[in-house]
Structure 1
Amino acid sequence: MKIGVVADDFTGASDIALTLAEGGMPTVQYVGVPKQAAGPDVQAGVVALKSRTAPVNEAISQSLHACDWLLEQGAEQIIFKVCSTFDSTDAGNIGQVTEALAERLGEDRVVVCPAFPENGRSIYQGYLFVKDQLLSESGMQNHPLTPMTDPDLRRVLARQTQWPVEHIPLSAVMSGVDSVAEAIAGDQRCMLIADAVRDEDLVTLGRALKGRRLMTAGSGLALGLPANFGIAPSDIPWVGSNGAGVVLSGSCSIATREQVANYRRVAPAQELDADEVVAGNYSLQALVEWVLKQEVPPLLFSSADPDVVKAAQAKHGRQAVASAIEELFANLAAALSQSGVRRIVVAGGETSGAVVSGLGVSGLEIGPRIAAGVPALKVVGQPLALALKSGNFGGPDFFVEALERLGNAS
């Protein structure tokens, strides 16, 4: 293994796994830290955790455990994969986990760059933009678990770490690899927010990071890393599953709500009301029976308007609502799989984590891209294909496209 990734959620893990696989590296995504060694052909190993909103000490412990396992497999570089919208709780855990990993790896200057221009995430003057809007005006300010109200990544990160936070400006990045390497070099420990507005900027940053032991990044930074090991891009083989399908959506993002609205025009759909979920009023058996009797893969969703979500959180508590919805999706995914469903499309990072945990899978084979940042996935050893989508990823017709690709569509 050459590159090891510690990912703080499941969709982010799939996202960077796709980037590395398209870069020519045989890549496997693991669900949690494996108990067995990686295969000899694995060049990039991605450990998917559910640590983004976990208590800080728990997130650090999980991340260090994953890092240690990746090092045992021979990983020469560790990437701490965070969301391209840099969201976590305001108190952590990006800064704290980066600190802990840096100390474990002996790094004292760590580049931090969540930019992903292909999906509209760019960093300029240290500020994170989603397309042409500041992060704080992009809809992410309404995220039910990790609302992002500050677009200045230097301020966000400084609230989460004791280390100084510095900045690598776009002018340095566009000046080339030597300029970036000079900016990274230094005697005092710090984290460096790096600007990037184009894929070319990420490739430059990746080349400048050759030989560094740690970086904190979105999937975009992985564009420039495989070439450091003499590896060239290649096609990803894929054999899908053509069985029954379903779409499970727990994201409240603007993009997902549009996808839900579009899919409801062509397929049966059932909304899962938060109050009813918390009260335990849904019958798992009834939901499974409803899914199985549909001729078109149906949609089950809790992707409500932000005001509806806030009202439910005010009534029951934020964590209670999130936990109840995630538990229902986890149990539902397991029951559907056991009943013969072979294609499952999931929207939302937390929902994806719940679904994968409910399915009890240990590893995922990385297939070709469905959309930027979203690969087709095959459960190792099972005829079950998945798509795990971060809330804001994918086009308006993503659900239709994903179900087709999870089959044998090229």
Structure 2
Amino acid sequence: MPIAESKPSRLLCYYGDDFTGSTDVLESLFRSGVRTVLFLELPDEEVLQGRFAGIEAFGIAGVGRALSPVEAEKELRPIFERFKQAEASVVHYKVCSTFDSSPTTGNIGKAAEIGSSVFGGEYVPILVGVPILGRYTLFGNHFAAAGEEIYRLDRHPTMSCHPVTPMKEADLRRHLAEQSGLKTALMDILSLDGTGEQVQERLKCLVEKEQPDLVLFDVLDEERLEIAGRLIWEGAQRNKSRFVIGSSGIEYALGATWKAQGMLQQNRELIVDAPPVSRLLVLSGSCSPVTEQQIIHASEAGFALLRVPAADLIHPERAEQARLQLLKEAADLLEGGKSVLLYTAAGAADPAIGAFRIALDACGYHSEDSSRLLGSILGSIAKSLIVDTKLKRIVIAGGDTSGYLTRELGIYALECVAAIVPGAPLCRASSQDPCLDGVELVLKGGQIGGKDFFNQVKKGSGSEN
């Protein structure tokens, strides 16, 4: 039995570069027994010491993945400065486990530059692999599952042709070099083998020899993930607040280390009161093939499907009528006891995507405005449906639109209550509006879940038993 080490009052703060990824971190900390709250805006001390007194970690759900470098500077710097004041042992800039980013949109290198300037100290660790989600990094190259197959990122059927940030380079060092002048060194899979002392010495030699700004850690399995977590945590003990970049693999790695050191509760019950619901509302802004199959299966399982007339919803003359019509159709179905799925596209080949791009151009918008516009519109619709039909649980699918959509709901915090499907936990919302306070919410990335995902969420915690 390990001897429990002294635990800091606040283990971790994090910023999620999209909302689905933010709840992914929430889930990983929940699984480790770390009480965590995800806020939609920066909380003040009154909130942290009031309703959420005693939390060990907190996060901010952001939209960094959709921002330009200039916008990222405005968004991230004040948040990082606030995190520095919170004196958490680790400050995590959370990115998608498929690392999708580009020099102009969701620039991870820019986030690294901002974080380094705020926190200083040693190199910035980068860890992206998450074995539980089928994400692996080997000799610097990143791999991700699609169905039953594992693909190198530049050959992945979805990420290689992502509509906003297509991944054309699997070597994450090369990918980062296109976004920033920061130097990246690699702690490869072979360097992570051996005793703790041997691995520590290899990392020390790597840093002394290459003098890197960033150190990328390979990840293949849970064993090496825990080793990386131990190295990151040891580094955090040498710094007042250690800035790190990566997927929820960071939290799985640190959680394993914290457990091994006796710092966390053991045998925490993962499923907390997640009964089935009679009606579920799903709002999908995802065009991934995984979500496409989930939409098809939902229809077969009895969900009513309604296509979102995206082009009409941004047209100045047709928008209001289109919104009212969609609201009425959805409300009538929900009031009739049906589960409803609103979707903007059924897969990457859906002609609606091209039609929406034409509509954006015709209305004077740019392609990068699409997530904000669709997310805000769908969020307004979702809020009306929750209030009018007294819904208890909803699902939001699609990382790019989820942030804007969730911000429209009028909620200010989320806590994980059940780990139903890895990567997409069931969360309980906090809101000043009694109609929204306590609503259950699942945020699903495009690549997450099996074909029965939406039905699983409707069935609740018993769906895997």
Q: Under TM normalisation by the shorter chain, which class is it?
A: over 0.9
The answer to whether residue 169 in structure 2 is matched with residue 150 in structure 1 is yes
> Are the aligned partners of 2:129 and 2:220 in contact in 1 as well (CA < 8 Å)?
yes
Q: Indicate whether 1:247 and 2:282 are aligned.
A: yes
After superposition, give the CA deviation of every residue in 1:142-162 in whole Å (9 maximum; x if it has no partner): 222222121111111111122
State the partner residue of 1:33.
Answer: 42
* Percentage of matched positions with identical amino acids: 26
Q: Write the distance in 1 (CA, Å) between the matches of 2:91 and 2:12.
A: 6
Query: Which stretch of the first structure deviates more once superposed, 87-96 or 275-284?
Result: 275-284
**Counterpart-to-counterpart distance in 2, 1:17 and 1:388:** 11
What is the letter of the counterpart of residue 276 of structure 1? D
Aligned partners of 1:109 and 1:192 also within 8 Å: yes
Larger Rg: 2
Say which is worse superposed, 238-247 or 71-80, in terms of deviation.
238-247
Write out per-residue CA displacement over residues 204-240 of structure 1, whole angstroms, 9 at most, x where no aligned residue. Answer: 1101111421221100221131343611442246345
Whole-angstrom distance in 2 between the partners of 1:98 and 1:176: 30
**Per-residue deviation, 1:244:** 4.1
Counterpart contact for 1:126–1:153, Cα < 8 Å: yes
What residue identity is the alignment partner of 1:303? A
- Which stretch shows the higher mean deviation, 126-135 or 69-78? 69-78
**Who is 1:335 aligned against?**
384
Query: What residue identity is the alignment partner of 1:373?
Result: G
More divergent stretch after superposition (115-124 vs 311-320) = 311-320
Q: Is the 8 A contact 2:271 2:419 kept in 1?
A: no
Match of 1:362 among 405, 412, 426: 412
State which of 235, 253, 258 in structure 1 corresponds to 2:269.
Answer: 235
1:75 aligns with 2:114: no
Deviation per residue, 1:32-88 (Å, 9 max, x gap): 212344233110111111111212132133223222323333311111110000012
Query: Is 1:201 aligned with 2:235?
Result: no
Give, in whole Å, the separation in 2 of the partners of 1:181 and 1:79: 22
SS of the aligned residue for 1:247 comes to: strand
Residues in 2 aligned to 1:29 and 1:21: alpha-carbon distance in whole angstroms = 12
Greater Cα shift, 271-280 or 28-37: 271-280
Equivalent residue letter for 1:332 = I
2-structure distance, mates of 1:47, 1:252 = 25
- Cα pair distance change 1:222/1:101, threshold 3 Å: same
Letter in 2 for 1:4: C
Q: Which 10-residue stretch deviates more, 340-349 or 225-234?
A: 225-234
CA distance in 1, matches of 2:428, 2:252: 23
Which residue of structure 1 aligns with residue 23 of structure 2? 14
Deviates further, 32-41 or 310-319: 310-319
- In structure 2, distance between residues paired with 1:181 and 1:290: 60
Aligned-residue RMSD, C-alpha: 2.4
- The offset of 1:310, in angstroms, is 4.4
Q: Name whichever of 70-79 and 17-26 sits farther off.
A: 70-79
Specify the code of the residue in structure 2 equivalent to 1:192: V
CA contact (8 A) 2:313 2:323 kept: no
Change (3 A) 1:342 1:243: farther
* Alignment TM-score, normalising by the size of structure 2: 0.82
Distance in 2, matches of 1:378 and 1:368, equals 9
Matches within 5 A, 1:277-288: 277-279=313-315, 280-281=318-319, 283-288=322-327
Partner amino acid, structure 2, of 1:14? T
d(CA) in 2 for partners of 1:164, 1:246: 45
* Contact 1:240 1:378 survives alignment (8 Å): no
Find the residue that maps to 1:225 and give its secondary structure: helix
Partner of 2:348: 306
Deviations 1:343-393 (A, max 9, x none): 111111122212211102110011221211111000025131100011100
Map Cα deviations across residues 286-337 of structure 1 (whole Å, 9 max, x no partner): 3233223222211100133324324643563423443432222121112112
What pairs up with 1:259-408 in 2 under 5 angstroms? 259-265=294-300, 266-279=302-315, 280-281=318-319, 283-294=322-333, 295-307=337-349, 308=351, 309-310=353-354, 312-313=356-357, 316=361, 317-339=366-388, 340-381=390-431, 382-405=437-460
**Would you say 1:94 and 2:108 are equivalent positions?**
yes
Please say if residues 129 and 219 of structure 2, whose CA atoms lie closer than 8 Å, have aligned partners that are also in contact.
yes
Query: CA 1:406–1:333 in structure 2 vs 1: closer, same or farther (change >3 Å)?
Result: farther
* Equivalent residues of 1:247, 1:298 under 8 A apart: yes
Answer yes or no: is the 8 Å Cα contact 2:36–2:55 preserved in 1.
yes
Do the aligned partners of 1:177 and 1:205 also contact (CA within 8 Å) in 2?
no
Query: Which residue, 124, 149, 154 being the options, matches 1:136?
Result: 154
| Aligned residues of 1:347 and 1:388 also touching (Cα < 8 A) | yes
Aligned residue identity for 1:206: G
Q: How does 1:103-142 map to 2 (within 5 A)?
A: 103-131=117-145, 132-138=150-156, 139-142=158-161
- Residue 66 of structure 2: aligned partner: 53
Q: 1:409 to 1:125 in 2, by over 3 A?
A: closer
Q: Which moved more, 1:188-197 or 1:273-282?
A: 273-282
The TM-score with structure 1 as length reference comes to 0.92
Matched AA of 1:238: V
> 1:298 is matched by which residue type in structure 2?
V
Q: Could you say if the C-alpha distance between residues 178 and 393 of structure 1 is closer, same or farther in structure 2, counting changes exceeding 3 Å? A: farther
**Structure-1 separation of matches of 2:461 and 2:395:** 9
One of 153, 169, 181 as aligned partner of 2:200:
181
User: Any idea what SS the aligned residue of 2:190 has?
Assistant: helix
Give the partner amino acid of 1:225: L
Equivalent residue number for residue 190 of structure 2: 171
Note if 1:215 corresponds to 2:244: yes
